Amino acid sequence: MVDTRQLGRQPGSMRTVSRIVTLPEGFETAMASVPKGQEIELDLRLEAVMEGVLVTGTVLGRLTAECSRCLEPLSEELEAGFQEMFRYPGDDEDATAAGDEDSGDEEEDYYLEGDLLDLEPVVRDAVVLALPLSPLCGPDCPGLCSECGVKLAEAGPDHGHGDGIDPRWDALRDITEDPGRQ
């Protein structure tokens, strides 16, 4: 929760806030996460506008993942940006009375709770969207051998598994090599 009392609901007033927060729950996708208990850094700019408080921020943290090619564990820095409007409580009735058609998107709007902002859903969305869908330990990671599962980066250039032809096809290969045979 971030306190906005210093803005005083005066459009044009601005304040910056920096915080380090410990995550009460992890933010994760199928391949990467920012685990529970991890510290993240929030750099926020709060701007009072007519409708509420515009929050522009950056989240810095560390993600953990597995390389999608070789399954090596990895950990790297994560940076995610966001910008969200938090409306003053009671503004939705004013907008409805004025005939504003956008006021029907209540589930997409965020509201101040008194003078406090609850940034958790906004930060969670920004972090989850910034997590890589297919994390890689390096851009040229060759992955695993499809035959034996060894890491190709460690296998060496002489790694191989014979001619690579499935033995079930031997009968057809014999026909093509000796076309007179039936």
User: Which of 139, 120, 123 is CA-nearest to residue 131?
Assistant: 123
Pairwise CA distance, residues 22 & 30, whole Å: 22
- Report the SS3 class of residue 142: coil
Give the SS3 label for residue 166. Answer: coil
In a structure prediction context, what are the per-residue pLDDT tens digits for the chain, which is 182 residues long?
777 777 777 788 888 989 999 988 889 888 899 999 899 999 999 998 888 889 999 999 999 999 988 888 999 999 999 999 989 887 555 444 444 444 444 557 888 888 788 889 999 999 999 999 889 988 888 888 887 888 887 877 777 776 666 777 777 877 877 666 55
H/E stretch holding 48 reads strand 39-48
Contacts of 64 (CB under 8 A, 6+ apart): 32, 33, 34, 35, 73, 74, 75
Query: How far lies 182's CA from each of 5, 167, 168, 170, in Å?
Result: 91, 20, 18, 14
CB of 80 within 8 A of CB of 59?
A: yes
Alpha-carbon torsion 20, 22, 27, 31, what sign? Answer: positive
Is the pTM for the entire model greater than 0.85? no
R_g of the chain, CA atoms, integer Å: 28
Helix%, strand%, coil% for the chain, nearest 5: 25, 35, 40
Q: Is 32 exposed, middle or buried (0-12, 13-18, 19+ CB in 10 A)?
A: buried
